[in-house]
Amino acid sequence: MDNGTKKYNAEKFERVHLPDDANEELSRPQLSFWKDAWIRLCKNTGAITGLIVIVFIILMAFIGPFMNDYTNEGANYDAAYLPPKVKGLEAIGFDGMQTYEVQGATEEEAIERGLAGYEIEEEYVQDTEVVITKEESEDGYVTVAMEVDIYAARGLEDQYFWFGTDSMGRDLWTRIWSGTQISLYIGFLAAMIDMVIGVIYGGISGYYGGRTDNIMQRIIEILSGIPNLVVVILMIILLKPGLIAITIALTITGWIGMARIVRGQVLKLKGQEFILAARTLGANDKRILMKHLIPNVTGMIIINTMFTIPSAIFFEAFLSFIGLGLQPPIASLGTLIDTAFDDYRVFPYMLLYPAVIISLLMIGFNILADGLRDALDPKMRK
Amino acid sequence: MAKYILQRLVYMFITLFVIATATFFLMQLLPGSPFNELGGKMTEAQEQILLEEYGLNDPVPVQYAKYMLGMVQGDLGVSFQYDNRSVTDIILDRIGPSAHLGAQALIIGSILGIILGMIAAIRHNTWVDYSSNVLAVIGISIPSFVFAGLLQYYFAVQWRIFPPSFWEGPIYTVLPTISLLIFPMAICARFMRTEMLEVLGSDYIELARAKGVSNSSIMFKHALRNALIPVITVLGPITVSLMTGTLVIEQIFAVPGIGEQFVRSISVNDYPVIMGTTMLFSVLFILVILIVDLLYGMIDPRIRITGGKD
Amino acid sequence: MDPILDVRHLHVFFDTYGGTVQAVRGVDFTLEKGETLAIVGESGSGKSVTVKALMGLVTKPAGHIPEGEILFEGKDLTKLSDKEMQKIRGKDISMIFQDPMTSLNPTMKIGKQIMESLILHQKLSKSEARNRAVELLELVGIPDPASRMNQYPHQFSGGMRQRVVIAIALACNPKVLLADEPTTALDVTIQAQILELMKEIQRKMETSIIFITHDLGVVANVADRVAVMYAGKIVEIGTVDDIFYHPKHPYTWGLLGSMPTVDSDDEKLMAIPGTPPDLINPPKGDAFAARNEYALQIDLEEEPPMFKVSDTHYAATWLLHGDAPDVEPSEAVKKRMKGIAKGNLSAGKENR
């Protein structure tokens, strides 16, 4: 192993004195916590996709209603139940064709009954097809699918309702995007209120500890035993459905989760050396709270808030669905879905678009929140 | 341990008392008479007779005492909607399909979820893991009624594979069960995956590997049990989701269960039924939380012996 | 006689999001029968990864061994399949882990955890395994072993748990025992007991031990030979006397200088300045150069080879080259070395 045979220049064996900062260059560049978290978030494709989806939906919620000339209200029964039709996209299904399924003893009778029932002239029927023959059916009737150019039948050839219209002939594109606005509004408002109450309650409870904490925790323990479903429903019944009622109902127990997390974090941080060090240096309560505790808890607060928003949006939609939601004329994604359920077997587009948007919104928020948790959770830090 | 159970039971009763009291007084605060929306046009005299009959003219404290006393005996009052039928009766009559649906969704959903989560953890960072994650996010995100609507439209209306509604045999339970189990499945899969990954990265699994234990033994003898214990805690959120789910899914698929009855009662202001169902949900929820805690203690030897963690 | 374990040019890499971490970058050493080799070095120097590689516990696909051989009784362990490796793990080579609080399965009874490898490798029946497990618990000094068999880890203290971990490691009379900082997580008094126990067992069973630690006090106590690791390489290897009395590598000087002795009248310990290099992009030349107050120009350009000091003693530093200037460790380090020579080590002192 002795390499003494190989010759080196003598000057290679001069002593060198490395500058003091040479060590620093060897280690990785120092990143602030938030910068580091941001970089990690950007590496998470799912979270970024979620963020893009959310931003897109938020933008559309504000721009969408102004993209055509139709208004949110104003019934026009001539234009009721029109399927989606988009100029240029006829080939991929946005052709304004409506398919009705009609029954009759024979194929002809079924069509005849369909024409009469839906008040359509025969010339607008594009195509008919027997879906269930007499032999296949249980009740001896023939079921015929009848494709109708309903825009023409109503004399509205020059109209283009991109997402179709509802039972009152209102443009669903406009209604869906303004409904999205309402849903987002409820989601954000409820999350903010939860955050403020939760942070204050949890912060006080964790920071002061002792008896204060004990009493505050017992209260939480009792409240958290009540399923929030029950609280929300009772509150809505009491307050009469509406925007404010829903927001209050959602926040009345919604802050508990946040309060628990903040308390836990504060308790944990309080015992750590850097807080003790700050205290020994003479920092007062307010300074410790503002300069040390809050910044360190912020990550958890953001994560939790991000999870609250989709759950508030869901709850609003859920309440609308069981008849406790917003009352007309205000529409949210939830009320639109609820209304769509009345007729969706014939007019599935009424359900499809709000359902897709609420699902995308929920998925977007959930994966963004997951990504944030991974990015902000110091435990995951390498 | 006994002390702990006792403490939990005390809390449980306090919570129930708070809920019952709050429910009662909330109903008292409601404006108008419950019969407004019901009979349409009633004379003042008729209404007085009804109020008298239902004890609604008594002073509030008397009503409260009666209500609480009745509740202890399992009497939840009388429905306004159906003449003189007791709420307890209505609930008992309706609980079958709901319990059936809930149990089916809970069992199938959690088993599927646990398997899915386990596979995802074992195949960590492969396409299996990614697709199971995507499935879990979708399952947690998409509202059950949206999912139910899509299922009903495609599987019942379009392709006619399953009946679209009603409750007339096992085949009728398929679509509502699937709609209900998607959330339990997703949340179990997620939780299981996280727990499993944590366990698989732990020192004791490395020690087991150092002993020369085969991979399958490590999974089933060492990892699975340790990962399963914390999964019990998701029973709480699952119960809530099942309760929320029954309200909308029974409605969509016309299942004659408690949820469907509850929604109908809301629309006609049948307060006794609303209050009764609310109490039922609360008791259910509190019981599940209690069972989770006790079960956790029973399965995890660390708590079993010492009685109480942290 | 052939060594029981011969490690040649071992490399272990881990793929991470940030790049490939070259945790072990060419390690050579041998282990004789009945010998104790201590591997010392600071955190991240690759000592734990080295023994994990010996056990075949480098987890794929992130971790891999791109180069090198591990010859155990003539077989190259790096070439074995997972199944073949399972037969060796726990039987011929076994391992004691650092933290007894987390290395036992919390939901499995102690007895079962010991019996598992007995049933697996020695094909004992359940009752035979049970008897043997009781014997093992007795061997490692656990009182009332029969009734302890049915308890769970949380009912044991830290020191007791580490005895159980040792019992598990010894279950099949392994030829090589790898101890990864087995005493670091324990109280000082317990540390001494565990070290005594290991020495005693080695005497009885003639096991070869690789003992990983960053605690030089422990090294002086248990080891026959010492390998000093830095940034994934062995920088100096020799007998305990070689390393403690005649260290040649400036890093070893630094380590010795940072170790407290009982009669050091000056309270100040010599710290090694700076931090270890980033092993994703290891520096060119000698990895220690940046922290070395005796660094030469060539240290920045070329990696030093292993220079032979004596038959038992090798060190990788250009200071041993014929052309290098004569440098001596600082007075403080020399004084400490004298202190160590007098046997005044404060043995087992935590210096994490």
pLDDT, tens digit (0-9, with 9 covering 90-100), for C276-309: 777 787 777 787 877 777 777 777 778 888 888 8
Are residues A27 and C299, on separate chains, in Cβ contact within 8 Å? no
pLDDT at A379: 55
Quick one: CA dihedral A262, A268, A269, A270, positive or negative? positive
CA distance A18 to chain B (A): 41
End-to-end CA separation in angstroms for chain C = 38
* Residue C145 counted as domain residue: yes
> Under a CB-based contact definition with an 8 Å cutoff, are residues B113 and B186 in contact?
yes
Q: Contact C305/A15, CB-based, under 8 Å?
A: no
Q: How confident is the model at residue A2 (pLDDT cuts 50, 70, 90)?
A: very low
The reply to whether CATH 1.10.3720.10 applies to domain B103-260 is: yes
Q: Do C83 and C104 belong together in one domain? A: no
Distance from CA of B95 to the nearest CA of C (A): 38
* Residue A26 C-alpha, separation from nearest chain C C-alpha, in angstroms: 6
Residues of B engaging A, defined by a Cβ cutoff of 8 Å: 11-12, 14-15, 18-19, 22-23, 26, 29-30, 137-138, 140-143, 145-146, 149-150, 153, 157, 240, 243-244, 247-248, 251-252, 262-263, 266-267, 274, 278, 281-282, 285-286, 289
Interface of A with B (CB under 8 A): 46, 221-222, 225-230, 233-235, 237-238, 310, 314, 317-318, 321-324, 337, 340-341, 344-345, 348, 351, 355, 358-359, 362-363, 365-367, 370
pLDDT digits (tens, 9 = 90+) for C28-70: 999 988 899 999 988 878 888 898 888 888 877 778 888 888 9
The conformation of residue B78, written as its DSSP 8-state character, comes to B
CB-based contact C91 B207, cutoff 8 Å:
no
C312 and C181 together in one domain: yes
Cβ contacts of B274 on chain A, cutoff 8 Å? 233, 237
Task: Answer whether C48 touches B (CB < 8 Å).
Answer: no
Residues C166 and C106 in one domain: yes
Band (A194; pLDDT cuts 50, 70, 90): very high
Token pair belonging to C344: 């005044």
Contact assignment for A233 to B278 by CB distance below 8 Å: yes
> Do residues C20 and C64 share a domain?
yes
Q: Given CB atoms, is B204 within the 8 Å cutoff of chain C?
A: yes
pLDDT of residue A4: 47
Could you report the per-residue pLDDT of A135-166, keeping only the tens digit for each?
777 777 777 777 777 777 777 777 777 777 77
Task: Say whether both C104 and C236 belong to one domain.
Answer: no
Q: What is the largest CA-CA distance in chain C?
A: 68
Task: Name the residue of chain B whose CA is nearest to A324's CA.
Answer: B266
Say if the Cβ atoms of B208 and C154 lie within 8 Å: no
pLDDT over 90 (residue C141): no
User: What residue of A is the nearest CA neighbor of C283?
Assistant: A26
Residue C198 lies in a domain: no
- Ranges of each domain in chain B: 103-260
Pick the residue from chain C with its C-alpha nearest to A29: C278
C280 and C227, same structural domain? yes
Residue C197 forms part of a structural domain: no
What is the length of chain B? 310
Is B204 in Cβ contact with C102 (below 8 Å)? yes
Whether residues C133 and C86 share a domain: the answer is no
The answer to whether the Cβ–Cβ distance between A13 and C300 falls below 8 Å is no
Q: Domain check: are C217 and C249 in the same one?
A: yes
Comparing C138 with A72, which gets the higher pLDDT?
C138
The 10s digit of each residue's pLDDT in B45-56 is: 777 777 776 677
**B-chain residue closest to A321, CA distance:** B248
Q: Which residue in the set C57, C108, C121 is minimally distant from B206, CB to CB? A: C57
Q: Given a contact as 3+ CB pairs under 8 Å, which chains touch C?
A: A, B
Whether C264 has a pLDDT exceeding 70, the answer reads: no
Is pLDDT at C165 greater than 70 in this prediction? yes
| Minimum distance, in Å, between the CA of residue B141 and any CA atom of chain A | 5
pLDDT at A9 over 80: no
Domain contains C290: yes
Structure ipTM? 0.81
Q: Which of C91, C97, C120 sits opposite B203 (nearest CB)?
A: C97
Is C266 inside a domain boundary? yes
CB contact under 8 A, C154 and B202: no
For residue C349, what pLDDT is reported? Answer: 40
Q: Which residue in chain C is spatially nearest to A23 when comparing CA positions?
A: C274
Size of interface A-B (CB pairs under 8 A): 107
Strand C5-16 and strand C63-72: the pairing is: antiparallel
Confidence band for A189, pLDDT divided at 50, 70 and 90: very high
Interface check C121 vs B, CB under 8 A: yes
- Say whether pLDDT at C107 is over 90: no
Q: Could you tell me if C113 and C165 are in contact, meaning their C-beta atoms sit under 8 angstroms apart?
A: no
Q: Sorting pLDDT into bands at 50, 70 and 90, what band is C341?
A: low
Query: Would an 8 Å CB–CB cutoff place B305 in contact with chain C?
Result: yes
Q: How sure is the predictor about B309, in pLDDT bands with cuts at 50, 70 and 90?
A: very low
**A311 with A361: CB under 8 angstroms?**
no
Contact A324 B266 (CB under 8 A): yes
| Yes or no, beta carbons of B208 and C116 under 8 Å apart | yes
Query: Do the Cβ atoms of C295 and A18 come within 8 Å?
Result: yes
> B residues 228-267 near C, CB within 8 Å?
229
Structural domain count, chain C? 2
Asked whether residue A1 carries a pLDDT value surpassing 50, the answer given is no
Asked if C49 and C109 sit in the same domain, the reply is: no
Q: Which residue has the higher pLDDT, C340 or B81?
A: B81
Whether the CB-CB separation of A14 and C297 falls below 8 Å is answered with yes
Please name the member of A12, A26, A382 whose beta carbon is closest to the beta carbon of C278: A26
Q: What's the domain range around C20?
A: 1-92+176-190+205-352
Binned at pLDDT 50, 70 and 90, residue C265 comes out as low
Asked whether the beta carbons of C174 and C1 are under 8 A apart, the reply is no
Q: What pLDDT score was predicted for residue B294?
A: 80
Q: Domain check: are C44 and C63 in the same one?
A: yes
- C-beta atoms of C323 and A8 within 8 A: yes
Residue C308: exposure state from Cβ atoms within 10 A (0-12, 13-18, ≥19): middle
State the DSSP string of C151-205.
Answer: S-GGGS-HHHHHHHHHHHHHTT--SEEEEESTTTTS-HHHHHHHHHHHHHHHHHH
Instruction: Indicate the residue of A13, A18, A23 with minimum beta-carbon distance to C298.
Output: A13
Burial C277-305 (b: 16+ CB within 10 A, else e): bbbeebbebbbbbbbbebbbbbbbeebbb
| Residues C333 and C254 placed together within one structural domain of the fold | yes
pLDDT of residue C352: 32
3-state secondary structure chain A: CCCCCCCCCHHHHCECCCCCCHHHHHCCCCCCHHHHHHHHHHHCHHHHHHHHHHHHHHHHHHHHHHCCCCCCCCCCHHHCCCCCECCCCHHHCCECEEEEEEEECCHHHHHHHHHHHHCCCHHHEEEEEEEECCCCCCCCCEEEEEEEEHHHHCCCCCCCCCCCECCCCCEHHHHHHHHHHHHHHHHHHHHHHHHHHHHHHHHHHHHHCHHHHHHHHHHHHHHHCCCHHHHHHHHHHHHCCCHHHHHHHHHHHHHHHHHHHHHHHHHHHHCCHHHHHHHHCCCCHHHHHHHHHHHHHHHHHHHHHHHHHHHHHHHHHHHHHCCCCCCCCCCCHHHHHHHHHHHCCCCCHHHHHHHHHHHHHHHHHHHHHHHHHHHHCHHHCC
Q: Is residue C321 part of a domain?
A: yes
What pLDDT shows up at residue B91? Answer: 87
Same domain, residue pair C303 and C263:
yes
pTM recorded for the entire structure: 0.79
Q: Give which of B124, B204, B304 to mutate to test C binding, by max C Cβ within 10 Å.
A: B204
- The pLDDT confidence band at residue B310, using thresholds 50, 70 and 90, is very low
Q: Give the pLDDT band (50/70/90) at residue C1.
A: low
Asked whether residue C268 is assigned to any structural domain, the reply reads yes
What's the mean per-residue pLDDT of chain B?
82
Distance CA C154, CA B25 (A): 49
Q: Which of A1, A14, A17 sits opposite C306 (nearest CB)?
A: A1
Indicate whether C196 belongs to any domain: no
Contact check, Cβ <8 Å, C307/A1: yes
